[in-house]
Chains A and B, each alone.
Chain A
Amino acid sequence: MPTASGAGKMSFRPDHELHRRRLGRNVGLGLVLGAFVALVFGLTVVKISDGGQMQGYDHVVQPELVPKEASQ
């Protein structure tokens, strides 16, 4: 409840310039790290998809892809 002296009122000190710089840097770094994670994820998906196309059976028998123990 507000009082004449102002005690009890929610009061924040205004942000120092340093805080703004830190915030900018932290947000920037967060975005960069987020983008890096997305990049690695995307790259993984592409690589796996490509690998699938290269080695997949495509519903055609490819004896060279069958493990030796299984074919014997």
Chain B
Amino acid sequence: MSDIRAYELDGPTTGEAGFGDFLALLKPRVMSLVVFTALVGLLVAPVPVHPFVAFTSVLFIALGGGASGALNMWWDADIDAVMRRTSKRPIPAGKVAPGEALGLGLALSGISVVMLGLAANLLAAGLLAFTIFFYTVVYSMWLKRSTPQNIVIGGAAGAFPPMIGWACATGGVSIESLLMFALIFMWTPPHFWSLALFMKDDYSNAGVPMLTVTHGRKATRAHILVYTIALVPVALATGFTSIGGPVYLAVSVVLNLVFLFGAWAIWKRDEGVAQADKYAVEKKVFRFSLYYLFLHFVALLVEAVLHANGFGGW
């Protein structure tokens, strides 16, 4: 029997995953959001950063985000196998062994934090280390399976990147970076709960205490509206800080009006109507929420470009 046959008999979780399988462990789609928000956080900061240092910093922030993704997939492999949305991830699909994901996650966590410390500063590295800890231990290991508020508190992990980007440039924390953090933090619950409304069976099958499972769908609809209302002042307040300006504020007003209208539409629907049109409104609001966040950060970037050329700002 050749050595190849021996591998075949053992199945694919024998350390023979392809490069792409390891890349998939890093959740590339989540990483793209991390890269973008961290980059904006770094570029809107009032302290100029050498382009190569900026590139390296954002790269290692993204790598840290990827590392926490791998650690999350290692810990949640049992849940991922049950949920349709995640059943094709490398571990439940049998392409990568759980131990490999753990090893990759730990190694990349260490590399990303140390390298960010060397490239930028210790505060940025410390914030990145805390983000990885928060996402892996606080969210994945603790909150996700124990409370329906998992998304609310866990959302902090996704909110740190612009704050880390800002810290890379300035070496500190300020009201601007806190507001960028708050924007993503407050945006996460309505974003995920609208997803949970139309991925209805997934979370209940997996036993994850998502709000839709523990408090019902009517309560979830109300929560989406309340959190969207709470998001509005945070988004608008950013416009009045040193990184904001008329352009940002105009964009933010329009986006918040649309988001509010969507949240209100979700709230006033009942389950029967939603099922009849296959959750059309919920899906639309979920998609819009992605544009909502993206365009807010694009507007901040536009303001930064205007500021640099003597325009924009108040």
Q: What range describes how many residues of B lie at the interface?
A: 10 to 19
Q: Check if B52 sits within 8 Å of A42, measured CB to CB.
A: yes
A37 CB within 8 Å of chain B? no
* B50 on the A face (CB < 8 A): yes
Contact (A21, B119) CB under 8 Å given A16-B4, A39-B56, A39-B59: no
Known A39-B59, A43-B119; judge A24-B52 contact (CB<8 A).
no
Q: How far is the CA of A29 from the CA of B59 in the complex (A)?
A: 17
- Complex alpha-carbon distance, A29 and B17, angstroms: 13
Looking at A16, A22, A43, which has the most chain B CB atoms within 10 Å of its CB? A43
Q: How far is the CA of A46 from the CA of B19 in the complex (A)?
A: 31
C-alpha spacing A54/B168, complex, angstroms: 19
Report B28-58 CB contacts with A as 1/0, cut-off 8 Å.
Answer: 0000000000000000000000101100100
Please classify the interface of chain B as helix (H, G, I), strand (E, B), loop, or mixed, using the class held by over half of its residues.
helix
Shortest Cβ distance from residue B78 to the other chain A in the assembled complex, whole angstroms:
26
Q: Which residues of A contact B (CB under 8 A)?
A: 16, 18, 21-22, 24-25, 27-29, 39, 42-43, 46-47, 50
5 pairs, CB–CB < 8 Å, chain A vs chain B: A18-B16, A25-B19, A39-B56, A42-B56, A43-B52
Interfacial residues, chain B to chain A (CB-CB below 8 A): 4, 7-8, 16-20, 22, 50, 52-53, 56, 59, 118-119
Sample of 20 more A-B contacts, CB < 8 Å, known A18-B7, A25-B17, A42-B52: A18-B8, A18-B16, A21-B16, A21-B18, A22-B16, A24-B18, A24-B19, A24-B20, A25-B18, A25-B19, A25-B22, A27-B19, A28-B19, A39-B59, A43-B53, A43-B56, A43-B118, A46-B50, A46-B52, A46-B53
